[in-house]
Structure 1
């Protein structure tokens, strides 16, 4: 009995000296000019709290820009076809020998640099339009040129390398990329312009030309007709020569006219056809040399253009990297204007949690990601509060305390849906046992010193 009396007296003595243990708590009502309104967190009140306007801060553009967004280089390095050597009529001084190229099957057309592909996506329309076929005429069509690195650049999707692929393979690859970018993959791929594969026609023809290889096979007779047909007076001294892969083939014009098989020789990309009317191999060789020089010049120009593109991409990449490094340095030094949420009370670490860029953060993010989670031994999981001051200047001092009772673990799902706002204060109250324990630890020294002081007196 005497001991209890001494404890009470010591407690009163400590309290009288204003040294008794005090801890923070959320007290509803008006306290020291602050009006506190406690709102329990439920599904409905979470929706209400999330209505507070807030736009997360955005990262600098250097974090989203791609270094490969330079201007297209399609068509760069394409030279002009030189004039074909002049032809002169001459006497046939030796036998023209038939040496036709072997049959060739190049397979399906493969997309190349310079080709223009078209992505046709169906637009909306009513049933009557679809039945009548009008919908096909209303398709949305977007053309893209295959650039020097073999890719096309689709907005919001990025660069897709399709050079060397058949149309079917390119459609499959584009389908996958559109699905990854969350776009409707309903489209058809067409080639609007065939610029990558060509055949040169020169010599004794009506109009020397360069003909494209398309989806439809190009035969020798069709190529000559497209170049204005053979313009030779004497077929006995005229031959059609084909330069292919370093080999020179010869077809006497008389044999060409008399043989459907020779007329239907299929031409492939890179072929050079020269109609010679005076049996002068040197003139034909000059024509082929011109074609070779043209291709070499084209390749050199394309290589230079690709080098320029790589240099521009490298400069952009370095500029973006420097911008990002500068921003990260400002972040580390605290020089950037960040939005923070503050954690206090019975948490593992009193800290502030920076709200992330470009997305909303939840109460669960701050509790479990900021290193300031609920203290397991001292925190009261039934008393978790988010303190939010009113943004209305007419309600200065008004605070809403959103109360989460996590004694039921199911209520923690509400924490994952509750969106935080700048300057929110997350407060975790201490449990009653911790409060009493801390009070007793503060009183215990008084229980020892009080009897001693009384004995001395």
Structure 2
């Protein structure tokens, strides 16, 4: 009688509560589909779905960055200090004292707006110009007031045009734009190169109110992205910020960063250690994603849906072409990769719970005798 009571108690407890598991079963996921009054569309992955959803994250610089001309290595910048020497072809000139025909202005600083002041020539735009261009501007201004003036301009102090490089770079710092480092790739090499895997490295250039981002590898694959640098550019090198979440019967359950630029479902499974051979159901590999309206319409073949949609993509690795489909299905930022447990695993848990609890009931019965 005692054993019967204990077994009855086991049966009641198992029916009253669910067995431990890592997430929903395949049946429960399908039960939440839109066709069964749920709020998500469950879609089996095939070649057409792969073609529609295969969106690569393309980065690149706008035309404003690409069309900027190369600046000279001796371009003057605000804060630079110039030295001016002006010769006049008269004994009593505008600037020179009596008995002298040359005037030296040794410390002329370029103000924050980029201008300098030269007596009788007025305000001269210096920033963005080379010393030679400044020399011509001053000469033109003085030529109307003194015969045949001769002007020499040199940079006395300051680095001229500079850029700031930070992030995943071997040598962070402020670097002058010199003749060999006028373009982005040369400047990155001058700073020691990127300190992250090149395949997942991104380079951001901030220029005033404009920002451009490019894959590091594209700087070499597409020379148009090797843009000329400008004074004040801020360059940030960072690793690919994208990630996906792995849950269920996988080798790891956590947020996983992308290790390749284009990550397939098969690579994502391998990246988390593969499927658990003791519990995973290879027919129940799911990818949860919020799809934008345009892609959702193409995937579902419908025009009556509005806004982003919750889509659950199903991969069956046991099908003849299942591994090929998983290889061609691209994972996107924010995806959730979920692998269900095999039905056998649930049965095994039930059996273990019954036999374990029955053994406990037998022990209790033995104590009561």
Larger Rg: 1
Higher share in helix: 1
When normalised by structure 2's length, the TM-score is: 0.36
Higher share in strand: 2
